[in-house]
Structure 1
Amino acid sequence: MKKVLIKNARIVNEGTITEGDVFIENGVIAEIADSISAKSPDVNIIDAEGNYLLPGIIDDQVHFREPGLTHKDTIETGSMAAVAGGITSFIEMPNTLPNTTTIEKLDEKFEIARKTSYANYSFMFGGTNDNLQEILKVDPKTTAAIKLFLGSSTGNMLVDDQKVLEEIFTKSPLLIAVHCEDEATIKKNYEEQLEKYGEDIPIENHPKIRSEEACYLSSSRAVALAKKTGARLHVFHLSTAKELSLFDNKKALKDKKITAEVCIHHLWFNDQDYAKKGTFIKWNPAVKTKKDQEALLQALIDNRIDVVATDHAPHTREEKKNKYPNAPSGGPLVQHALPAMLQLYHQEKITLEKIVEKMCHNPAILFQIEKRGFIREGYKADLVLVDLNSPWAVQPNNILYKCGWSPFEGVTFKSRVTHTFVNGRLVYKNFKVLPFSPIAEQLTFDRK
């Protein structure tokens, strides 16, 4: 499928919605116009029938669990679910086993992705208390960012040496992405709960353990350190209203040195949902109050928050069923992230243009990804067609995650992804991932 003509689409791009056609040739958007005619018989014509054409989603935070935890997910299975959800590019995290904290381990991941990924890919390089020399070897043009865990989570990569932290912030050749939760606060809260409840800690107390204060203490320190050192800082998965005071909306994204993101689960769930969902909505940072949930959405709209991501982090159903102390944090989200955001659109909480800005344009700008994230002539043809009025229910028989479950089970979404194109190739159509073809590409970055 070297030539594709998408006709009669409502194109959502760069703050506007326009009706038109898009012609793709050799994996690149060759022409965008009101009306385009097929110039040769070898053009595959797809009638969008008035459905909406979006740039492919760029998810800057996924955990595909390969290597070392492949009973939960792999780059192949995770990326397959991703393209079903309109995600055409992903950036994967370093807390696999072994951790991605050496150039050798990073190269091994790239090799796996080259052979198995359905979506375009890059990886973050993990920082630790003792691998600064490896960090300095990372190529800024081929690796997305440095990832630091300032609070322990799945896989123990906690960086807690303040001298080392300052050195990384000062010398890192890349943007630094951080998971912010204060370890001392979490440990104190957990010990109090353990003393009171033993192993029967109620899941409703998760946001008391991984508390607002734990998040704010860590985020505020990271922001202060970035300001002191001049580091380019991106704070992952904000979960509290209090943290929002650390970020501003007075500059264009390209001019910001400190940015932030929110994840799907913190926009969709709040602490009232623990009673029904239990440990299946146990995440780090924790899902918190309805007030926090509403404040995060407002900050997304007013541009204090720059990016929407998934933090896709699957575990098996059996693992998640454990009692609170032993139930791992995280859940699968890539297949359902875009439908969930479109549901918020139907609820008149966010516009289509803003969804595209936060899930497509801004990740491309923030990470300086070359020729992706926009519907522009000359850009890679990573595209998603969505039908905004085609309801479907999330059920076990249509869940593509290797772990076999979703926190959205039982939810009926009003919108669905009908087609996903990666580098001009149709990879997903109407609830079916098409046979694998090695057309995904390693992301490259427009950096000096």
Structure 2
Amino acid sequence: MNRTLIKNVKIINEGEIITGDILIEDQLIAEVGTIDNVPTNTQIIDGLGKYVMPGVIDDQVHFREPGLTHKANIGTESKAAVAGGITSFIEMPNTVPQATTQALLQDKFDIAANASYANYSFMFGGTNDNLEELLKTDPHKVAAIKLFLGSSTGNMLVDDEKVLEKIFSSTKMLIAVHCEDETTIRDNLASAKTMYGDNIPMDFHPKIRSEEACYISSSKAVALAQKTGARLHVFHLSTARETVLFRNDIPLEEKKITAEVCVHHLWFDDSFYKEKGTFIKWNPAIKTKEDKKGLWKALLTDKIDVIATDHAPHTLEEKSQIYTKAPSGGPLVQHGLLAMLEATHHGILSLEKLVEKMCHNPAILFQIEKRGYIRKGYYADLVLVDLESPQTITKEGLLYKCGWSPFEGTTFNSEITHTFVNGKLVYNHGKFDDDNRGMQLTFTRPS
């Protein structure tokens, strides 16, 4: 049996911070508290002055494999994720080919089993014509169904309202959605092209992919979920207006309609377009300071349930093109937790609330088995953090295959020092256990 004891550490878990020890035996947490009788042959890590939290569960990433591996792959991006304190990720289906059949979905699981440093699951992609295949999805092994109600790739835009209602009515799986109204976006883009051609100024992005486009789509999705009783999770809210669609008067376990916000929508606003340009071009767009303020308010009052990254890398060459040609998305897994820890330094977000939104709630929302908490018998997915170790993000320190970050030049006050995945110390002060591989996530749901 392999044992590790983390001693003298401040444990952030379940709404409180306590000083204590954590004993790991093989893959699991064996004991939490004051541990005096240390078994022989135990590796000891002194965490004095550090905090430990459950590993982050990132419920929305794009790791680009298969088919888009010039941008990223599961190996490189999961390695960056582990360095960023993310021990489990859920990856999206819009790869090449798209994960819209059970066989293609299994191909992604097979790749991750051989390549992923972190624990993993994937979403099955819905289309206008694959309902029969969608209904074969195993709720114990697959995170969710993903529907693009806007900003799709390939044939993944689900815009047939009869098909949408059929999907919502037919599956008991959680349905995760990207909500932007395509008609509104097309009209706004056409108007901008009339004025500027293809070289549209970047600050038009939130006008093209507007508040109205987001609200029309997200409100329709919520109404359809209410009508059908479907379990709905709305990805990456970007506007204050959308937050009124969600409730905070019942526990998360009882919610059938939930919401996520991403790090970039909490960190940036439209004043950054002048400096960052296409490097902060995301869909949905980063919007106004008032929108950012409204998102923070909704997060802190529990209308928004989860913080994620929507990590979606592209090459420097791709992102350096003019507005209409530069793709949307950027790399975030290595620095998403650091950015949110910065909010704790500024008194915006407590450490307990950060852990709730990035660790506990994804586990609750997706019904992930034995993860997201520091509890006896749970998998030992743990992150040690030094809150008083400033660092400036440089290109040389980036682990993303794309080789750039929107946070380059940013100084964070914290450092992630250790990351355990299933009881193994996979990341230790910049060094990796390159032999360790994560596990496929499982889910405690009825069939």
Partner of 1:2: 2
Change (3 A) 1:113 1:361: same
Query: Does the aligned pair in 2 maintain the 1:390–1:415 contact within 8 Å?
Result: yes
Aligned mates of 2:293, 2:433 — CA distance in 1: 38
Partner of 1:37: 37
Q: Map residues 165-204 of structure 1 onto 2, 5 A cutoff.
A: 165-204=164-203
Query: Does the aligned pair in 2 maintain the 1:2–1:425 contact within 8 Å?
Result: no
- Return structure 1 stretches of 4+ with deviation > 6 angstroms: none
Query: In the TM superposition, what whole-angstrom CA distance separates every residue of 1:164-183 from its partner, at most 9, and x where no partner exists?
Result: 00000001231000000000
Gap runs ≥5 in structure 2: none
Aligned mates of 2:349, 2:142 — CA distance in 1: 32
Question: Is structure 2 residue 310 aligned with structure 1 residue 311?
Answer: yes
Aligned mates of 2:435, 2:292 — CA distance in 1: 38
Query: Does the aligned pair in 2 maintain the 1:138–1:173 contact within 8 Å?
Result: no
Query: In the TM superposition, what whole-angstrom CA distance separates every residue of 1:189-230 from its partner, at most 9, and x where no partner exists?
Result: 001101110011001000000000000000000000000000
Partner of 1:349: 348
Higher mean C-alpha deviation, range 400-409 or range 153-162 = 153-162
Q: Map residues 279-298 of structure 1 onto 2, 5 A cutoff.
A: 279-298=278-297
Helix, strand or coil at the partner of 2:114: helix
Q: Which amino acid aligns with 1:400?
A: L
- Residue 82 of structure 1, CA deviation: 0.3
Question: Structure 2 residue aligned with 1:445, among 433, 443, 446?
Answer: 443
Query: Does the aligned pair in 2 maintain the 1:22–1:36 contact within 8 Å?
Result: no
Query: Does the aligned pair in 2 maintain the 1:21–1:36 contact within 8 Å?
Result: no
Change (3 A) 1:388 1:13: same
Helix, strand or coil at the partner of 1:326: coil
Helix, strand or coil at the partner of 2:5: strand
- Residue 371 of structure 1, CA deviation: 0.2
The CA RMSD over aligned residues, in Å, is 0.9
Q: Which amino acid aligns with 1:257?
A: K
Helix, strand or coil at the partner of 1:228: helix
Aligned mates of 1:75, 1:365 — CA distance in 2: 25
Q: Map residues 405-444 of structure 1 onto 2, 5 A cutoff.
A: 405-438=404-437, 440-444=438-442
Query: Does the aligned pair in 2 maintain the 1:254–1:366 contact within 8 Å?
Result: yes
Query: Does the aligned pair in 2 maintain the 1:388–1:415 contact within 8 Å?
Result: yes
Q: Map residues 21-420 of structure 1 onto 2, 5 A cutoff.
A: 21-40=21-40, 42-420=41-419
- Residue 154 of structure 1, CA deviation: 4.9
- Residue 155 of structure 1, CA deviation: 4.9
Gap runs ≥5 in structure 1: none
- Residue 431 of structure 1, CA deviation: 2.2
Aligned mates of 1:365, 1:52 — CA distance in 2: 23
Q: Which amino acid aligns with 2:74?
A: I
Query: In the TM superposition, what whole-angstrom CA distance separates every residue of 1:282-338 from its partner, at most 9, and x where no partner exists?
Result: 000000000000110111110000000000000001100000000000000000000
Helix, strand or coil at the partner of 2:324: helix
Aligned mates of 1:416, 1:159 — CA distance in 2: 41
Query: Does the aligned pair in 2 maintain the 1:154–1:329 contact within 8 Å?
Result: no
Aligned mates of 1:418, 1:16 — CA distance in 2: 21
Q: TM-score, normalized by length of structure 2?
A: 0.99
Aligned length: 446
Aligned mates of 1:420, 1:446 — CA distance in 2: 25
Aligned mates of 1:415, 1:336 — CA distance in 2: 11
Query: Does the aligned pair in 2 maintain the 1:136–1:173 contact within 8 Å?
Result: no
